[in-house]
Structure 1
Amino acid sequence: MTSPPPARNWLLLEGGGSQTWAAATGDTILVTAEGPSTNPRSVGEERAVHRLVELIDRVWDDPATAPLGVVAAHGAASTSAAAGDFATLIRRALALTGMTAPVLVTNDLTTLLLSADGPVCVANCGTGTGFAARNGVRWARSSGLEWLLSDEGGGHDLGTAGLRAVVRSLDGRGPDTALTGLARRWCDEAEHAGGNLGEILFFHVYRTEAAKPLVASFAQHVLEAAEDGDTVAARLVENAAAELAAGAAAVCRATSITARTGYTLVLSGSVLTEATLLRGHLMTWAHEHLPPAALLQHTPKSRPEDLLRLRNLWLTPKALAPLAAAMPTHADPAPPALGGARS
């Protein structure tokens, strides 16, 4: 006689400007899946819902029950209103799979602030940027208002600066740079034989609705050129690091974290955690101005634990209230003890 499959109880989501991670949990993490961005400001609402449906279908194959609740830490939650909007998209995706469930959505930095005891400062640099700090009852956040209003130093900002440096070089407004050759490779010029690089770049960047993550992907070429000694790229990386330092300093100042505070610095986001040169510039600044007592680097392995810690706050309303007052958050009433059946 075969044993029944383990029950799926909670649906977890984490996402930023380029990727989304999903998991179904019971007593342990049962199944996970990764997919592209579900941020509606990057890919549009309909595509975001479609991608959420795909992820839910991949991790939730139990036809008998719906999740007790959905816990989401997502970059789409730039403001409290935006968190509510993204919760609506999650409900739409659930409905398309035949389910309903209460939803908690908060900014993707929130779980990182819960990942260490004592004072914490988070510096996140992926497609965009975000900074947050917690020191006792004091919380603060900066940047994270998307690419038109903030995100200086992030992947989209650095990629844009690199592409502009290429165009400036092509039309004589700026110096020669190794980024020009890298831009040709980035565009896959074979698809556009016969055109000049300016025209090729124009077509490559503007042909897609998802220009934000596309442009952000060029940041890796800027970092590569800087590592190889290109002076134009090196200056752009230094400028990005200065923006990251300014963001971290702002939230530390707002929460009274000083050079004498024993705080944990958490680094997250693919651009920051994978780029040795950029991370090195930021750590040089930190050691000179705000030396951390401990350094943590957010990795995918910590996602389930971080999100389950957030779930536990959701189930304790008094504990959730201070967090929700400081970080963009939408919370449906806490879910009941037992899950509901599919409608």
Structure 2
Amino acid sequence: MTSPQPARAWLLLEGGGSHTWAATATGYTILTTTEGPSTNPRSVGEERAVHTLVDLIDQVWDDPATAPLGVVAAHGAASTRAAAGDFAALVRRALALVGPMAAPVLVTNDLTPLLLSAGGPVCVANCGTGTGFAARNGARWARSSGLEWLLSDEGGGHDLGTAGLRAAVRALDGRGPDTALTGLAQAWCAESDHAGGDLSEHLFFHVYREEGAKSLVATFAQHVLEAAEDGDAVAGRLVENAAAELAAGATSVCRATGITTGTDYTLLLSGSLLTEATFLRGHFMTWAHENLPPTALRQHTPKSRPEDLLRLRDLWLTPEALPPLTSAMPTHADPAPSTAEGTSA
């Protein structure tokens, strides 16, 4: 008598500039979950991204002899369609190293499932390591920012952290006013194993010592927010500038999709600097209430990840529903498993 075959499962991935979440699911049941560092190759490099993907898949996938039904990934690495395809290739490399396994892969921008989570018009403002804005109003979709730290991401954690560290350095060498950010920068790099030298040398070593400086610098954004809340004038101006950039991003996608004053729409906040940093959120929401009051306000939380990604999977399994998404958002989609196979798990 043969043993029953184990139920095949889906592999789910969600990530951005600072973290990656991985899970397995059968049907609408989440089986296992884990979290790890960024797998965005423009933050950590391709090899580290693949290594982390392998580690995460190992943690959630029990039987490497059985391939996933498919991989559904909503990831900040999907800045463009070509970038979405490149990340799909990294996922395939990771699967081959774990199993070796092979499975169809869907990769789309991490804002896509958020746009699908509201029934009516919606604007998404994301502010974490980077920034991204997207809106959907009927058949009209729009997206702005999200082209990584050299081309966009103004107002995000890396941008705000960089501005704060530069302000500290300017104060140190006399090019700028005194600021509490100098002392905070000293504490921030205190764990560095660099011995000797002044603060400028410590900062230089801490920031440039290894690959992945983007994620590291973004952590200083919290210190900028702390100083601003405590009344530091320099930090306060930096936070005001960041909030203005967030307002500009939200304005652009609302304008492009016809969301105007009086439109019943949902404003969905995402990313740690909007969902956890109340000081920055307060500045941004002041703009929203004065210029484009939302009918409903929601915050994207980790609890919604499984539902968001399973909704995206179901869209993948509905061929006629996928083209509007792939034409609007950076997406790579392999042919999906058959609907019967996909829903039976």
Aligned twin of 2:165? 163
Aligned twin of 2:84? 83
Aligned twin of 1:310? 312
Q: How does 1:1-343 map to 2 (within 5 A)?
A: 7-27=7-27, 28-97=29-98, 98-188=100-190, 191-336=193-338
Residues of 2 paired with 1:89 and 1:63: CA distance? 17
Query: How many pairs does the alignment contain?
Result: 338
Q: Deviations over 1:202-236 (max 9, x none)?
A: 11101111100000010010011111111111110
Residues of 2 paired with 1:62 and 1:189: CA distance? 40
What is the TM-score normalised by the length of structure 1?
0.96
Shift of 1:8: 4.3
Q: Give the secondary structure class of the aligned counterpart of 2:193.
A: helix
**Paired residues of 1:35 and 1:51 also in contact (CA < 8 A):** yes
Residues of 2 paired with 1:219 and 1:311: CA distance? 34
Where do 4+ consecutive residues of structure 1 move more than 6 Å? Answer: 3-6
Shift of 1:159: 0.2
Residues of 2 paired with 1:338 and 1:257: CA distance? 38
Residues of 1 paired with 2:305 and 2:20: CA distance? 12
Compare 311-320 and 124-133 and name the one that shifted more: 311-320
What is the TM-score normalised by the length of structure 2?
0.95
Q: Which runs of 5+ in 2 are unaligned?
A: none
Shift of 1:194: 3.0
Residues of 1 paired with 2:4 and 2:197: CA distance? 61
Shift of 1:188: 1.0
**Paired residues of 2:288 and 2:294 also in contact (CA < 8 A):** yes
Q: For 1:61, give the aligned amino acid.
A: D
Q: For 1:39, give the aligned amino acid.
A: N
Shift of 1:271: 1.4
Distance 1:189 1:101, change over 3 A: closer
1 or 2 for the larger relative contact order (CA 8 Å, sep ≥6)? Answer: 1
Q: CA RMSD in A?
A: 1.6
Q: For 1:261, give the aligned amino acid.
A: T
Residues of 2 paired with 1:7 and 1:242: CA distance? 50
**Paired residues of 2:192 and 2:202 also in contact (CA < 8 A):** no
Shift of 1:7: 2.8
Shift of 1:195: 1.1
**Paired residues of 1:113 and 1:121 also in contact (CA < 8 A):** yes
Compare 131-140 and 59-68 and name the one that shifted more: 59-68
Distance 1:4 1:290, change over 3 A: farther
Distance 1:59 1:195, change over 3 A: same
Shift of 1:5: 10
Q: Deviations over 1:234-293 (max 9, x none)?
A: 110000000000000000000000011000000000111111110000100000000000
Q: For 2:25, give the aligned amino acid.
A: T
Q: Deviations over 1:50-99 (max 9, x none)?
A: 10000001111124421110000000000000000000000000011111
Residues of 2 paired with 1:285 and 1:22: CA distance? 35
Shift of 1:337: 5.0
**Paired residues of 1:162 and 1:236 also in contact (CA < 8 A):** yes
Q: For 1:335, give the aligned amino acid.
A: P
